[in-house]
Amino acid sequence: QQPVQSPQAVILREGEDAVINCSSSKALYSVHWYRQKHGEAPVFLMILLKGGEQKGHEKISASFNEKKQQSSLYLTASQLSYSGTYFCGTVVFNDYKLSFGAGTTVTVRA
Amino acid sequence: EAEVAQSPRYKITEKSQAVAFWCDPISGHATLYWYRQILGQGPELLVQFQDESVVDDSQLPKDRFSAERLKGVDSTLKIQPAELGDSAMYLCASSSRRLTGQGGEQFFGPGTRLTVL
């Protein structure tokens, strides 16, 4: 039930945009996004509960397409502080526990 | 700001020894989770507590792992005996929501990095 994230890694210059994708083979109840910096605990970014819903956290937003069981995280005008590993976590109907993807490592360079 | 506390932060042990990790969730959070995170991978749920009761321990290797939350507050995760493959980061998280599916944000502690030699 582990979701699949892509790409595995992305390198950006400050101000550039990036998209991280998360997909599941199961019908999803919700999608959770976390960011983890090296040696630190994962930090919650946002939860998406409804189809087509979009949310934002600073200049980071996400969408959830429940028909395709996919979510995308959008990093807009990236800042150095956006560097880290982004994990999507998915909750499947009738299971209700959070399963994390393998993560996408984002490196933002000056 | 309230935080999830974990100790120790680092633990080095030899295989076949016993180890224990402690977690103190954010005050008032009924739900507590233990995750294992292998380097380069996402966290994997080991056990979920609702107050003092185990809600899900399907991924917990019960022949060597045990977890308890006796008074529904802090929790201990034990491994006995430790094996080389247990080397990982052990993360504790807590949530005020009773079910993950309700959209409850999980607050993670700093983790315990275990190295088994």
A44-97 per-position pLDDT tens digit: 998 888 665 666 667 899 999 888 899 999 999 999 999 999 999 998 887 778
Write down the H helix ranges in A1-110.
none
pLDDT of residue A58: 73
Among the partner-chain residues B41, B48, B109, the one whose CB lies closest to the CB of A41 is B109
Over residues A28-43, the mean pLDDT reads: 91
- Burial code of A63-83, b = ≥16 C-beta within 10 A, e = fewer? bbbbeebbbbbebbebeeebb
Give, for all 117 residues of chain B, the pLDDT tens digit.
789 999 999 999 999 999 999 999 999 999 999 999 999 899 999 999 999 999 899 999 999 999 999 888 999 999 999 999 999 999 999 998 776 655 678 999 999 999 999
Largest CA distance in chain B: 41
| H and E: helices and strands count for chain B | 0, 11
Task: Please report the pLDDT score of residue A39 as a whole number.
Answer: 85
- Using a CB–CB cut-off of 8 Å, the residues of B that contact A are 4, 40-45, 48, 56, 91, 99-101, 103, 105-111
B34–chain A nearest CA distance, Å: 12
Q: Are B42 and A85 in contact (CB under 8 A)?
A: no
pLDDT at A93: 80
Question: For all residues of chain A together, what is the average pLDDT?
Answer: 90
